[in-house]
Amino acid sequence: MTSDEDLARNAALLGLDIPAEQIRRVAVLFRRIEEMAHGLAEVELDPLIDEQAPIWRP
C-alpha cells in the first residue's frame, strides 16, 4: 500500500491532476482494488475446466 503523500507525488509525476482534497478518496479506492485483487489471486483455477486466459473463438 502507498501513503497519501506517495499517491500525490506519483500522480504529479504522471501529470495527473488529482485535487488535494480527493487524494484520500483515491487512496481508499486503490486500497479496495488491492484487497479485491488479493482475494481473486487466491482463487485456484481448475486447469481442465477454467480458462487461464481468454481464448478467441470465431
Three-point CA angle 11, 40, 43, nearest 5°? 160
pLDDT of residue 2: 66
Grid cell in block for residue 28: 481508499
pLDDT of residue 12: 93
- Helices 4-14 and 23-41 cross at an angle (nearest 10°) of 100
Tell me the three state secondary structure of residue 20: helix
**Number of domains comprising the chain:** 1
Q: State pLDDT tens for residues 24-43.
A: 999 999 999 999 999 988 88
What one-character DSSP code corresponds to residue 50? Answer: S
pLDDT of residue 10: 92
Under 8 Å between Cβ of 11 and 18: yes
Enter the pTM of the model.
0.62
Domain residues for the domain of 20 are 1-58
